[in-house]
């Protein structure tokens, strides 16, 4: 018997949606730009069975893929669970067998040793294949037309880390993918394996090193010469796991470390810089300028996630869970381990920011991300009293001038992560479309927003309407017809 009635936060718009879906020829308000040929693929999670603990993390939800397929100006939608061994085991048992986030000690003994990954973070198109990514396990290959789960992929046995990041970087110049796994040799290990994989999907380089302390290494920065590795406040221990807690807790006494290593360097070449309490969960972009390595990201002052609580028992502080677009500069000629930090914009934003991927690792000008503008209207009668608590705008942040141009989604909506799609392969930087899914709280449905990145103030040029609530998303990516063998 499935019972979500005692899940106090899974109500209304946030109640589980437990079905798979096909919607052919979706309702469209506006006109789909003819340049859009491919698919917007989004990955997130939903609870198929309720979690075993109210203390669990939403990052433990079962993975769910949604795909908006664009072809001839028509959009079809398909939604499928990622059929991991864990998902199948739960289905067979008709209940949740797995305990809290990344803690196998809390699992039902019947699933001991089974891959407990939920594959719920980032979709990836690489070397002609579609993958789902979750940082606690290998990538899972997915059929890009049916969204059926094929299974884990280890790059023909050449990828040795037990884990694979949710944020690999594809170098737009070489087509290579720079990726890594942390806790690479198992639970509670401080090993990181860093890989270069060529555009054919062949592992060409491996670098093994250790981080200053075991922590969440969720994302990295990539330049043409260096890899930047942020390590910050989330900590774990075997003792903690045996106490039945979620994998991560926050230790505010831990300094932030940022490792900088040449792309062709060895472990001895890594230089660790040390900074104040921060959380660099996601990065925007990075570049090397002479002896300076520069990282830009929406960085939190402190712990952004209340479900990974402070280990000292102090309350989680929402005031510090705010992200600002900042620039960290690491001087390779410096004699100490410090670095400089600048706040580039004074407004707090979603840390799920994106850039024009053609400029990844290179000098660039524009960043895109969502944010909450409290001056915009919010219709509390129709959408509930979440004013100021949800993102209602996408912004284009001009890092050269400091200007922000803004798209407002409407007074009953909330925006998920933004994605940028160039208008054409040779279009200028930032010239194209922004895309992302909006939650329409009034109509209890999800809408895919498409807006012209040059005219955000004009509103969207098209909305693809789903007649239901799509599962919540972590990350979404545009995948062109030249990237995957779409039918």
Partner 1 sequence: MTCRITRRGFLGRLAVAGAAMGWARLIPCGVLLGSALDSRVEVVSFHMDQPYLDPTGKAAPYHPPSGARSASPVAHLSEEAFRSSQAYA
**Contact partners, residue 192, CB within 8 Å, separation at least 6:** 180, 181, 182, 184, 208, 209, 210, 211, 217, 229
318 binds partner 1 (CB under 8 A): yes
With CA atoms as reference, report the closest residue to 165 among 154, 177, 179: 179
Nearer to partner 1, 210 or 389 (CB): 389
122 binds partner 1 (CB under 8 A): no
21 binds partner 1 (CB under 8 A): no
**Which one of 120, 163, 302, 439 is in contact with partner 1 (CB under 8 A)?**
439
474 binds partner 1 (CB under 8 A): yes
**Which one of 23, 114, 321, 347 is in contact with partner 1 (CB under 8 A)?**
321
Which one of the spans 56-64, 80-88, 236-244, 327-335 is the region binding partner 1 (CB under 8 A)? 56-64
Q: How far is the CB of 7 from partner 1 (least distance, A)?
A: 8
382 binds partner 1 (CB under 8 A): yes
CA quadruple 338, 342, 343, 345: dihedral sign: negative
305 binds partner 1 (CB under 8 A): yes
377 binds partner 1 (CB under 8 A): no
371 binds partner 1 (CB under 8 A): no
**Which one of 236, 392, 416, 483 is in contact with partner 1 (CB under 8 A)?**
416
414 binds partner 1 (CB under 8 A): yes
How far is Cα 407 from Cα 397, in angstroms, rounded to an integer? 12
Q: How far is the CB of 279 from partner 1 (least distance, A)?
A: 13
Nearer to partner 1, 7 or 331 (CB): 7
Which one of the spans 92-100, 313-321, 429-437, 454-462 is the region binding partner 1 (CB under 8 A)? 313-321
Please give the order of strands across the beta sheet that includes 292-300. Answer: 285-289, 292-300, 323-331, 340-343
127-166: which residues touch partner 1 (CB under 8 A)? none
381 binds partner 1 (CB under 8 A): yes
310 binds partner 1 (CB under 8 A): no
417 binds partner 1 (CB under 8 A): yes
**Which one of 48, 213, 272, 316 is in contact with partner 1 (CB under 8 A)?**
316
92 binds partner 1 (CB under 8 A): no
Which one of the spans 134-142, 260-268, 375-383, 395-403 is the region binding partner 1 (CB under 8 A)? 375-383
232 binds partner 1 (CB under 8 A): no
Q: How far is the CB of 380 from partner 1 (least distance, A)?
A: 8
Q: How far is the CB of 111 from partner 1 (least distance, A)?
A: 24
Nearer to partner 1, 234 or 305 (CB): 305
343 binds partner 1 (CB under 8 A): no
Tokens 């669970």 sit on residue: 81
**Which one of 12, 73, 276, 428 is in contact with partner 1 (CB under 8 A)?**
12
280 binds partner 1 (CB under 8 A): no
473 binds partner 1 (CB under 8 A): yes
**Which one of 34, 113, 315, 374 is in contact with partner 1 (CB under 8 A)?**
315
59 binds partner 1 (CB under 8 A): yes
Assign 3-class secondary structure to the chain.
Answer: CCCCCCCCCCCHHHCCCCCCEEECCCEEEECCCCCCCEEEEEEEEECCCCCCCCCCCHHHCEEEEEEEEEECCEEEEEEEECCCHHHHHHHHHCCCCCCCCCCHHHCCHHHCCCCCCCCCCEEEEECCEEEEECCCCCCEEECCCCCCEEEECCCCCCCCCCCCCCCCEECCCCCCEEEEEECCCCCCCCEEEEEEECCCCCEEEEEEEECCCCCCCCCCEECCCEEEEEECCEECCHHHHHCCCCCCEECCCCCEEEEEEECCCCHHHCEEEEECCCECCCCCEEEEECCEEEEEEEEECCCCCCCCCECCCCCCCHHHCCEEEEEEEEECCCCCCCCEEEECCCCCECCCCEECHHHCCCCCCEEEEEECCCCCCCCHHHHCCCCCCCCCEEEEEECCCCCEEEEECCCCEEECCCEEEECCCCCCCCCEEEEEEEEECCCCEEEEEEEECCCHHHCEEEEEECCCCCCEEEEEEEEECCCCCCC
52 binds partner 1 (CB under 8 A): no
Which one of the spans 123-131, 143-151, 182-190, 300-308 is the region binding partner 1 (CB under 8 A)? 300-308
Which one of the spans 76-84, 173-181, 336-344, 408-416 is the region binding partner 1 (CB under 8 A)? 408-416
Phi, psi of 87 (to 5 degrees): -60, -45
Structural contact between residues 66 and 46, judged by C-beta atoms closer than 8 angstroms: no
9 binds partner 1 (CB under 8 A): yes
386 binds partner 1 (CB under 8 A): yes
> How many of the chain's residues bind partner 1 (CB under 8 A)?
41
Q: How far is the CB of 386 from partner 1 (least distance, A)?
A: 5
How far is Cα 243 from Cα 125, in angstroms, rounded to an integer? 38
| Residues β-bridged to residue 199 | none
404 binds partner 1 (CB under 8 A): no
* Residue ranges binding partner 1 (CB under 8 A): 8-14, 57-59, 305-307, 315-316, 318, 321, 350, 352, 381-386, 389-390, 412, 414, 416-417, 439, 441-445, 467, 472-474
């Amino acid at each position: 018997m499935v019972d979500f009635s005692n899940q106090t936060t899974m109500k209304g718009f946030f109640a589980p949606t437990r079905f798979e879906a096909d919607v052919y020829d979706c309702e469209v308000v506006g006109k789909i730009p003819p340049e859009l040929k491919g698919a917007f693929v989004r990955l997130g999670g939903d609870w198929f069975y309720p979690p075993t603990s109210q203390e669990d993390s939403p990052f433990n939800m079962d993975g769910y893929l949604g795909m908006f397929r664009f072809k001839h100006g028509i959009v079809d939608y398909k939604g499928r669970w990622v059929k991991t061994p864990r998902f199948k085991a739960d289905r067979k048992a008709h209940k949740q067998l797995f305990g809290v986030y990344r803690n196998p000690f809390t699992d039902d003994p019947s699933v001991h040793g089974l891959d407990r990954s939920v594959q719920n973070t980032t979709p990836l198109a690489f070397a002609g294949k579609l993958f789902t990514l979750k940082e606690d396990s290998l990538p899972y290959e997915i059929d890009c037309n049916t969204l059926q789960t094929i299974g884990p992929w280890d790059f023909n046995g050449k990828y040795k880390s037990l884990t694979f990041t949710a944020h690999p970087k594809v170098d737009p110049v070489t087509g290579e993918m720079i990726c890594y796994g942390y806790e690479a040799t198992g639970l509670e290990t401080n090993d990181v394996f860093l890989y270069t994989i060529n555009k054919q999907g062949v592992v060409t380089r491996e670098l093994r090193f250790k981080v200053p302390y075991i922590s969440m290494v969720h994302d990295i920065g990539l330049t043409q010469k260096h890899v930047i590795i942020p390590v910050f406040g989330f900590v774990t221990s075997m003792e903690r796991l045996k106490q039945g807690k979620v994998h991560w807790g926050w230790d505010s006494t831990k300094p932030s470390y940022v490792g900088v290593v040449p792309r062709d360097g060895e472990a001895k070449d890594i230089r660790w810089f040390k900074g104040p309490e921060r959380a660099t969960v996601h990065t925007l972009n990075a570049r090397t300028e002479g002896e300076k390595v520069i990282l830009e990201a929406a960085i939190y002052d402190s712990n952004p996630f209340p479900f990974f609580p402070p280990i000292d028992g102090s309350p989680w502080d929402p005031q510090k869970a705010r992200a600002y677009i900042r620039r960290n500069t690491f001087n390779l000629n410096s004699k100490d381990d410090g670095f400089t930090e600048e706040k580039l914009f004074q407004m707090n934003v979603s840390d799920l920011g994106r850039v024009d991927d053609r400029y990844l690792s290179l000098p660039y000008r524009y960043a895109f991300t969502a944010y909450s503008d409290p001056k915009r209207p919010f219709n509390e009668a129709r959408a509930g009293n979440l004013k100021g608590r949800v993102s209602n705008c996408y912004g284009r942040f001009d890092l050269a001038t400091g200007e922000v141009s803004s798209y407002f989604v409407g007074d009953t909506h909330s925006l998920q992560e933004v994605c940028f799609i160039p208008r054409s392969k040779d279009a200028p930087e930032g010239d194209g479309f922004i895309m992302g899914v909006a939650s329409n709280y009034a109509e209890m449905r999800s809408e895919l927003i498409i807006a012209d990145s040059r005219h955000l103030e004009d509103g969207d040029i098209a909305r693809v309407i789903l007649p239901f609530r799509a599962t919540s998303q972590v990350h979404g990516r545009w995948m062109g017809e030249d990237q995957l063998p779409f039918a």
